[in-house]
Amino acid sequence: MKNIAVIGAGTMGNGIAHTLAQFDYKVQLIDISQASLDKGMATITKNLDRMLAKEKITEADKQRTLNNISTYTSLEEGVEYAGLVIEAATENLDLKLKIFRDLEKFCPDDTILASNTSSISITQIAAVTSRPEMVIGMHFMNPVPIMKLVEIIKGYSTSQETYKTVKELSEKLNKVPVEVNDYPGFVANRILMPMINEAIETLYNGVAGVKEIDTVMMLGMAHPMGPLALADFIGLDVCLSILNVMYDGFKNPKYAPCPLLVNMVMAGKLGSKSGEGFYDYSQNRKAEDVAAMFS
């Protein structure tokens, strides 16, 4: 388990790679785009520099962490010696199924296959492999190096041995693993996304404005960030995808995404990553900074 492959160099993937490498695991960070790999490594370096400035790590710690990460644009080469693969690609079912079919071909027979999916069925993903007992969900929270929670999702066929191995790894990363069964949205997003959707409905129905809604939730409910700023931070396209998974999975209208959310995503207003969502990020402001304006 000293060699762990991470698929996807985006926000979650580079955060997972950073965390693993900081705890001295050898990480193979894989993405089809060299530009994405370069951007991911730049983000890891920037976050390590921030930790260095706060005296949480030393220069030697930073260099050791970076040296523990190798990058690959070839899936086959990247997973050749992996004891565990953590898929952190876009929240798209077809893409994830393709990745796991390829992992089935390229990984050693004893490699555990994990997905960082925030809502998609682990059982459905596992079904495209011949090792469903070795497929599991490992849902980290963003930002990965800081957030303690890891939802560990057991598919229908996930073995207790696989669960135990992933649980122990999570603890070695100084995380708090929580066992969750395989139902749409798991726990975190089954509770969070309807709340965000209801905040969007509240805006859509003209009850209050964006800042007012977020201020009520921050000052009245002690949330560190308002639900609309949080939606921007997560990505409105990701929120929509998760809600659609839950709506399709439960066939319950309470999970139906608000029309305003649908329209914003179609218009390309995806939140902080696109420069505009419920807030304007044209001056490179992050969602956390927007939320801090109200506290």
Contact of 260 with 192, CB cutoff 8 Å: no
- Phi first, then psi, for residue 127 (nearest 5°) are -65, -20
15 is in an annotated binding site: no
Detail the DSSP E strand segments found in 8-148.
Answer: 26-30, 69-72, 84-87, 112-115, 135-140
- Does residue 18 have an active-site annotation? no
The Cα 213–Cα 234 span in angstroms is: 17
| Active-site pick, 36, 115, 151, 276 | 151
The Cα 29–Cα 13 span in angstroms is: 8
Burial of 115 (0-12, 13-18, 19+ CB in 10 A): buried
The Cα 256–Cα 204 span in angstroms is: 14
- Does residue 223 have an active-site annotation? no
Taking CA 247 as the corner, what is the angle to CA 226 and CA 147, rounded to the nearest 5 degrees?
40
9 is in an annotated binding site: yes
Amino acid letter at 118? Answer: S
- Does residue 181 have an active-site annotation? no
| Active-site pick, 118, 121, 170, 272 | 118
Contact of 79 with 36, CB cutoff 8 Å: no
Taken in order 192, 229, 40, 128, the sign of the CA dihedral is: positive
142 is in an annotated binding site: yes
31 is in an annotated binding site: yes
| Active-site pick, 68, 121, 139, 272 | 139
- Does residue 151 have an active-site annotation? yes
Taken in order 37, 42, 48, 51, the sign of the CA dihedral is: negative
Closest by CA position to 150, among listed 135, 171, 123, 165 = 171
| Active-site pick, 47, 170, 189, 197 | 189
96 is in an annotated binding site: yes
Residue with tokens 């990247």: 78
10 is in an annotated binding site: yes
- Residues annotated as catalytic (active site), given as ranges: 118, 139, 151, 189
Annotated binding site: 8-13, 31, 91, 96, 118, 142, 273
Annotated binding site for NAD(+): 8-13, 31, 91, 96, 118, 142, 273
